[in-house]
Amino acid sequence: MPDWSNKISIQRNFAFSCVVILICSCATQNAVDQDQEPSFEIINFGLYRPIEINGLDNIKNTSSADTVNGELYTLEQRTDEIPIIPYTRFGFEWCAENYPKGIHRLYLILEHPTKNNSVKSRYGTKRIYRRSKVSDQKTIMCSTETWEMNETNLLIGEIWTLGVWDENQPLITRDFRFITEADYFKPLE
């Protein structure tokens, strides 16, 4: 007749060992996650145009599109030279991974380093537009942000910088140049 008490004891010891290993593994993984360097990446950038939302309800929940006044904008063309075209927005898709847990807000800033009459932010630098996004403290956060373009607040041909900032410093930036619609559609020589 088998010794059931011995088998039950072995199973209990094995189960206890598995639980201890699992707890240690989770603790080690958390320690590794906290020690990883934060990374910030601009994935897509350029012209965004509205698309039909019919049948595309699931895309509204992705990070690769921006919903503005009920219209969904997606990337039409990746470019560093942004033409001022009606019904077109300028934007970028960005991701933050392993960012510091002390960051409660990320600021999306479009600025011109030499423009003297732009709107002043509370940080005292020359910025023409700022939109804040409350971070939700996930390990990875991705989002797409777009700006409406008009010639009243842009210097055509000048270099602008778009960046994701925390309270004190830029985490990632990218330079752009705005051009006229005529220059954009000018045939290649």
Alpha-carbon distance 93 to 14, whole Å? 48
- pLDDT value of residue 119: 41
Poorest-pLDDT segment among 37-51, 55-69, 73-87, 115-129: 115-129
What lies within 8 Å, CB to CB, of 13 at 6+ separation is none
Which token pair is 120? Answer: 């002043």
Tokens of 60: 């509204």
Residue 179 CA to residue 5 CA, distance in Å, equals 82
Other residues' Cβ atoms within 10 Å of the Cβ of residue 49: 16
Which residues are registered as beta bridge partners of 96?
A: 40, 141
What pLDDT is stored for residue 85 in this prediction? 78
77 vs 158, more confident? 77
Instruction: Find residue 51's DSSP bridge partners.
Output: 72
Q: What is the pLDDT of residues 36-59, one digit of tens each?
A: 677 777 788 888 888 766 555 545
C-alpha 45/C-alpha 164 separation (Å) is 13
Residue 88 above 50 pLDDT? yes
Cα(130)–Cα(171) distance, integer angstroms: 15
Region 146-166: mean pLDDT is: 70
Rounded to whole angstroms, what are the CA distances from 138 to 95, 107, 135?
11, 17, 8
Q: Residue 50 region, left (φ>0) first, then alpha (ψ -120 to 50), else beta?
A: beta
Residue 25 phi/psi, 5-degree rounding, is -65, -45
Q: For the chain, give the mean pLDDT.
A: 65
* Phi-psi category of residue 144: left, alpha or beta, with phi > 0 → left and psi -120 to 50 → alpha: beta
| Statement: residue 123 has pLDDT above 50 | no
For residue 14 the two structure tokens come to 């094995």
Note whether 106 and 163 are within 8 A (CB): no
Q: Which of 60-64, 71-75, 113-117, 119-123 has the lowest mean pLDDT?
A: 119-123
pLDDT band at 102 (very low <50, low <70, confident <90, very high): low
Residue 146: what pLDDT?
Answer: 80
The whole-number pLDDT of residue 93 equals 81
Residue 59: which residues within 8 A CB-CB, separation 6 or more? 53, 65, 72, 74
Confidence of residue 16 (pLDDT cuts 50, 70, 90): very low
- Whether 95 has a pLDDT exceeding 60, the answer reads yes
